[in-house]
Amino acid sequence: MRFHFFTIEALQPAAGEEALNAFCAGQRVVSVDRHFVDQGASSYWSLCVATVDAADPARRTSGGRRERIDYKEILSESDFVVYAELRSLRKSLSEQEAVPAYAVFTNEQLAEMVTRRATSLAALGEIDGIGQARVEKYGKLFLALLQNAFATAPPPADDEAHPNHAG
C-alpha cells in the first residue's frame, strides 16, 4: 500500500480538486482520510490517499496470483459489517445460480460499493468492472441492502470518506 498526501484550499479548491481527481482516476484507491484544518481565510482540507498498485510485483504471490486484500484491516468497522452482509448476499446468489461468487461481484467491487456509499443503480454502474447486465440482474438486491445499511448507520467520519465525497 502506498500513501499520497494532498492539501486543498477551502476558499479556492478548484486546482486542488482537479489534481486530486486526476490522481484518483488513475489509481486503485483503498481509503481516503480527510481532515478540515480551520485557519480562517487560510483553511484547507488535508487528505491522505492510500492506494494499491495492481501491477506492483509485491502485490503478487509467488505463483503469480494477486495477493488477497484483507478488507477487515482496510475498511472501518462499520463499513466492514456492511461489506460482510454484501458478501453473504453474493454467496446466496452464487449458490442459487451455481456460479462462482466473483461472477456476481468481486470482493473489490463489494468494498467499493461500501466506500462509495452506492445507493443508486447509476452509482453501481460507475464501479470498475460492473456492466449494465450485472446492474440489471443484481443491482436492486444489493442496493436494498446498501440503502438500509446507510439509512440506519451514522454518516461516515472524515477518516472513512471516499474521494468521491471529498469535495
Tell me what pLDDT residue 38 has: 94
Greatest mean pLDDT range, 53-57, 84-88, 125-129, 159-163: 84-88
Name the strands in the sheet holding 2-9, side by side, starting at the edge strand that comes first in the sequence.
Answer: 2-9, 44-52, 28-37
pLDDT, one tens digit per residue, over 23-78 is 887 777 877 888 899 999 999 999 988 887 654 444 445 555 666 788 888 888 88
Query: How many Cβ atoms sit within 10 Å of the Cβ of residue 86?
Result: 23
Decide: pTM greater than 0.85.
no
Q: What kind of fold does domain 71-152 have according to CATH? A: DNA polymerase; domain 1 (1.10.150)
